[in-house]
Amino acid sequence: MSKTKDIRESVEAELIFDPLVDATDITVHNLSGEVRITGTVPSYLQYLEAAAAARRVAGVTKVHNNLEVVLPAAHERDDETLAAVANNALLMNIAVPLGVEASASNGNLTLTGVVRYGSERQAAEQAVSALTGVRGIKNKIGISDDADPVDVTVLVSDALDRNALILDDSEVDVTTNGNTVVLTGHVRTWAEHDAVIGAAWMARGVYDVRDDLFITG
C-alpha cells in the first residue's frame, strides 16, 4: 500500500473513530502528507474537531479544512437569539475578560473587544464554538498590552524551553515582527506544533502568531 493511500485511509479511520465527528459526508484527499477535508458537517464544533482528528494522524504535515457547516433545521437560531446566547456564554466564562462581545449574522459570530493576552482571545472563541446555531466565527478581538517585542521573543523562547511536549530534537526559531511572533523551524508531531503555538499565545504582549512551522512526521 502506498504511503499516500495509507495516510488517507488512516485519516478516514480517525474521523470515523472520533465520537465528536459525523464522518458520513466528509471526503479526505492527501498529497504527500498535506491533507484536505471536504464535504459537510452539522455543526461548527464538528468542523473544528474534524481538522483536529486529521492532525492526530502520523504522517500528516498540513491540514486544509474546506468543510462546510450545514445546520440541521432543529439547530438553526435567529441572529438575535444566537447573539444573546453567545454573549451570555462569554459573560459566564471566567477566562474571558469583561468587554468582549459577540454579534451574529446568518449564524456567523463576530467577536470584538480588547483583552491583554492571546490566551484570553482564544478562550473567548472556545467559549462560543460549541453553541447550537453557530456556522462560523470571526475573531476580531484586539490585544491591548504594549509589551516590548524583544521581551516577547525572550518570553516565548523561555516558555518553549520549559515545555515537556517539545522534544529536544525539534528546532523552533522565534522572531518578532512588531508584536507578532513568527515561528519557523520544525517539530515532529502536531502535538508539539500545538504546544508551540499555545506557548506563543500565552506570552504577554503577543498580538498575533504567524505559524511557519514544518511538521516532519
pLDDT in tens, 195-211: 888 888 887 778 788 88
User: Would you place residue 2 in the very low, low, confident or very high pLDDT band (cuts 50, 70, 90)?
Assistant: low
Report phi then psi at 101, rounded to 5.
-130, 160
CATH of the domain at 35: 3.30.1340.30
How far apart are alpha carbons 128 and 137 in whole angstroms?
A: 9
Q: What is the mean pLDDT of residues 19-31?
A: 96
Do residues 58 and 14 share a domain?
yes
Contact at 8 Å (CB) between 109 and 91?
no
Enter the C-alpha cell of residue 56.
Answer: 492526530
Give yes or no for residue 146 having a pLDDT over 90: no
Enter the C-alpha cell of residue 130.
Answer: 460549541
Q: Which residues contact 95 (CB under 8 A, 6 or more apart)?
A: 119, 120, 123, 127
Do residues 62 and 79 share a domain?
no
User: Would you place residue 147 in the very low, low, confident or very high pLDDT band (cuts 50, 70, 90)?
Assistant: low
Please name the residue that has the C-alpha cell 477566562: 95
The confidence score (pLDDT) of residue 209 equals 87
Q: What is the mean pLDDT of residues 39-54?
A: 96
Would you put residue 34 in left (φ > 0), alpha (ψ -120 to 50) or beta?
beta
Do residues 130 and 87 share a domain?
yes
Task: Work out the mean pLDDT of the chain and round it to a whole number.
Answer: 89
Q: What is the mean pLDDT of residues 128-148?
A: 89
Do residues 78 and 139 share a domain?
yes
Do residues 128 and 157 share a domain?
no
User: Would you place residue 12 in the very low, low, confident or very high pLDDT band (cuts 50, 70, 90)?
Assistant: very high
∠ CA 210-4-66 to the nearest 5 degrees?
45
Expressed as residue numbers, the domain containing 201 is: 149-215
Give yes or no for residue 110 having a pLDDT over 80: yes
CATH of the domain at 173: 3.30.1340
Q: What is the mean pLDDT of residues 6-13?
A: 95
Looking at the 3D structure of the chain, how many domains does it have?
3
User: Would you place residue 178 in the very low, low, confident or very high pLDDT band (cuts 50, 70, 90)?
Assistant: confident
Which of 131, 133, 128, 130 minimizes the C-alpha distance to 113? 128
Domain stop point among 143, 176, 199: 143
Quick check: helix, strand or coil at residue 154? Answer: helix
Do residues 37 and 11 share a domain?
yes
Give yes or no for residue 1 having a pLDDT over 60: no
How far apart are alpha carbons 31 and 139 in whole angstroms?
A: 30
How far apart are alpha carbons 97 and 124 in whole angstroms?
A: 9
- DSSP-H helix ranges across 105-204: 118-129, 149-162, 190-202
pLDDT, tens digit (0-9, with 9 covering 90-100), for 50-87:
999 999 998 898 899 999 999 999 999 999 999 999 99
Q: How far is CA 8 from the centre of its chain?
A: 22
What whole-number percentage of the chain has pLDDT above 90?
59
How far apart are alpha carbons 158 and 199 in whole angstroms?
A: 10
How far apart are alpha carbons 87 and 70 in whole angstroms?
A: 23
Q: What is the mean pLDDT of residues 6-22?
A: 96
Do residues 24 and 50 share a domain?
yes
